[in-house]
Amino acid sequence: MRKAGIIGYGWLGSRIAEALPGHDKIYTTTTSPDKVDLILSKGFHSTMVDFNDDGSDSMPDRWDVVADLDVLIITIPFSEKRSGADAVRNRFQKLASFIGGFNGQMFLMSSTGVYPDIPGVFVEDNLPSEEVLIESLAKKKYNQINILRLGGLMGDGRILKNFKVSNPDAVVNHIHYADICSVITRMVEKQIHSKLYNVVAPLHPTKREVLNIQNNILFIQSEFSGKKREISSLKMISELEFEFQYPDPGYFPIS
């Protein structure tokens, strides 16, 4: 029986836990005491821990299950843009103290938000992990870690029309959570290590096109003439021979 740890049983972490093969034994973390009973009811193990930067130097206790894990998946967010470099370093230090040493297969959920907010088609080589603070910290501590730069998270009622939308003529770089789970599952089965992948749906309609589809508005597609910021997942598709369940963000399931 394979044992998998998921640090961060939130919106994405809970879906990854559900998607892992049923014979896996799942260990999770949460910051909410209200979630513990829910997690236990699903047959998963749960540990409460908080990695927030509260200004203190106190470190969490070592996670006592780490030595037994085969796979470790980190979904807690790190945003240098929102919280600053010092907060990211402090948060990662707490995370590393919690994990300790680990030589098994690892995943860090990063974000396509690390790419510059300028027009262009961005691939992984445009921005090595050494130039992204949290990815650099993770790679120095755990050289085997796989880093997945996720597009905008969608699925289970999380759709564009439910958000406040600006710049409607910009193209979207979205990903359905089911495809994230499939990428992780495939990488686990193939025992892949030390990879950096963009995980983004391969089609990039404009926000306006997606909104019109979701609102059942007849819209004749016109040739896009503006500048676009597009994140390419071709490396991941090629190396994993991956086929998306939901390649077009305009047609992600509504519910």
DSSP letter (8 states) at residue 215:
T
Which pLDDT belongs to residue 255? 72
Query: What angle in degrees, to the nearest 10, is found between the helix axes of 133-141 and 85-99?
Result: 30
- For the chain, domain boundaries: 3-251
**Interior CA angle at 111 toward 108 and 114, to 5°?**
120
**Interior CA angle at 140 toward 137 and 143, to 5°?**
120
Show Cβ contacts of residue 101 under 8 Å, excluding neighbours closer than 6 positions.
none
Asked if 169 and 208 count as a contact pair (C-beta separation under 8 A), the reply is yes
Q: What is the pLDDT of residues 5-63, one digit of tens each?
A: 999 999 999 999 999 988 789 999 999 888 999 999 999 999 999 988 665 667 889 99
Joined together, the tokens standing for residue 39 give 């997690």
Which pLDDT belongs to residue 49? 94
In tens digits, the chain (255 residues) has pLDDT values of: 899 999 999 999 999 999 998 878 999 999 988 899 999 999 999 999 998 866 566 788 999 999 999 999 999 999 888 889 999 999 999 999 999 999 999 999 999 999 999 999 999 999 999 999 999 999 999 999 999 999 999 999 899 999 999 999 999 999 999 999 999 999 999 999 999 999 999 999 999 999 999 999 876 555 555 569 999 999 999 999 999 999 999 999 987
Q: Which amino acid is at 109?
A: M
Domain 3-251 architecture: 3-Layer(aba) Sandwich (3.40)
Which pLDDT belongs to residue 119? 95
Show Cβ contacts of residue 8 under 8 Å, excluding neighbours closer than 6 positions.
29, 74, 75, 76, 77
Asked if 9 and 28 count as a contact pair (C-beta separation under 8 A), the reply is yes
Phi, psi of 73 (to 5 degrees): -120, 125
Distance CA 154, CA 220 (A): 24
Asked if 177 and 155 count as a contact pair (C-beta separation under 8 A), the reply is yes
* Global confidence as pTM: 0.95
Distance CA 154, CA 157 (A): 8
